[in-house]
């Protein structure tokens, strides 16, 4: 990945994190660096970096951008030809890369047990790509996600209650007798 691509990606992530739901503009980055870090980096300079007209940053600019985007300064360089961050070989196909990405996400969000389990479940499904495409279709249908979630959670509670000696059933019995 080239430095300009990384900077565009960082603007997108930062815009999302700041609740803009879009990439920050180059001018916004320049303005916020001035107001938050009390240093300056012009919009024109950011534009030159992104377009590739300025392929290298000065050390001062690299450190400033790294502080603003909260990344390691070493990230703000072009990646070597053929470099990739995944622990996969070229033999793995699209599905393998997607599954690896999902497993890495499950690991990253392991403190949220439900989300981690959901990501692992999708990764282990034989066609995880189809699952994600189906999810997109569900989300594009008004109210379908909420209705399905309601039905599945109710079904899950009914199944749990039907099992003998489950905590759910014991709690229900206790409520009825009181």
From 75, 97, 120, the end of a domain falls on: 75
Do residue 70 and residue 10 come from a single domain?
A: yes
pLDDT exceeds cutoff 60 at 74 = yes
Residue 149 or residue 177, greater confidence: 149
Do residue 135 and residue 103 come from a single domain?
A: yes
Distance, CA of 35 to chain centre: 27
Do residue 154 and residue 122 come from a single domain?
A: no
Do residue 90 and residue 111 come from a single domain?
A: yes
pTM: 0.50
Do residue 134 and residue 104 come from a single domain?
A: yes
Do residue 177 and residue 131 come from a single domain?
A: no
From 49, 75, 101, the end of a domain falls on: 75
pLDDT tens string 16-48: 888 888 889 999 999 999 999 999 999 999 999
Do residue 163 and residue 126 come from a single domain?
A: no
Q: In angstroms, rounded to a whole number, what is the distance separating the alpha carbons of residues 172 and 67?
A: 54
CB-based contacts of 24-29 (< 8 A; 24+ apart in sequence): 26/50, 29/68
Q: In angstroms, rounded to a whole number, what is the distance separating the alpha carbons of residues 19 and 5?
A: 21
Do residue 123 and residue 163 come from a single domain?
A: no
pLDDT exceeds cutoff 60 at 87 = no
From 75, 101, 117, the end of a domain falls on: 75
Residue 161: closest CA among 152, 153, 169: 169
How much is the pLDDT for 64? 95
How much is the pLDDT for 123? 84
pLDDT tens string 107-137: 888 888 889 888 888 888 888 899 999 999 9
Do residue 17 and residue 70 come from a single domain?
A: yes
Q: What is the CATH number for 64?
A: 1.10.260.40
Q: In angstroms, rounded to a whole number, what is the distance separating the alpha carbons of residues 3 and 9?
A: 10
Domain count, the chain: 3
Do residue 7 and residue 55 come from a single domain?
A: yes
Do residue 27 and residue 61 come from a single domain?
A: yes
Assess contact for 73 and 63: CB atoms under 8 A.
yes
Do residue 152 and residue 130 come from a single domain?
A: no
Residue 59 sits in which domain range? 3-75
Angle at 13 between CA 112 and CA 4, to 5 degrees: 140
């Amino acid at each position: 990945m080239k430095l300009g691509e990384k900077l565009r990606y960082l603007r997108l992530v930062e815009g999302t994190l700041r609740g803009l739901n879009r990439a920050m503009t180059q001018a916004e980055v320049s303005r916020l660096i001035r107001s938050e870090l009390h240093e300056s980096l012009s919009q024109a300079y950011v534009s030159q970096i992104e377009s590739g007209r300025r392929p290298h940053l000065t050390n001062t600019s690299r450190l400033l951008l790294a502080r603003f985007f909260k990344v390691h300064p070493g990230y703000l360089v072009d990646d070597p030809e053929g470099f990739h961050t995944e622990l996969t070989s070229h033999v793995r196909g699209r599905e393998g890369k997607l599954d690896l990405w999902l497993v890495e996400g499950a690991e990253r969000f392991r403190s949220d047990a439900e989300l981690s389990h959901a990501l692992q479940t999708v990764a282990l499904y034989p066609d995880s790509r189809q699952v994600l495409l189906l999810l997109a279709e569900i989300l594009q249908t008004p109210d379908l996600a909420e209705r399905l979630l309601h039905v599945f959670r109710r079904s899950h509670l009914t199944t749990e209650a039907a099992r003998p000696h489950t905590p759910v059933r014991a709690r229900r019995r206790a409520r009825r007798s009181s």
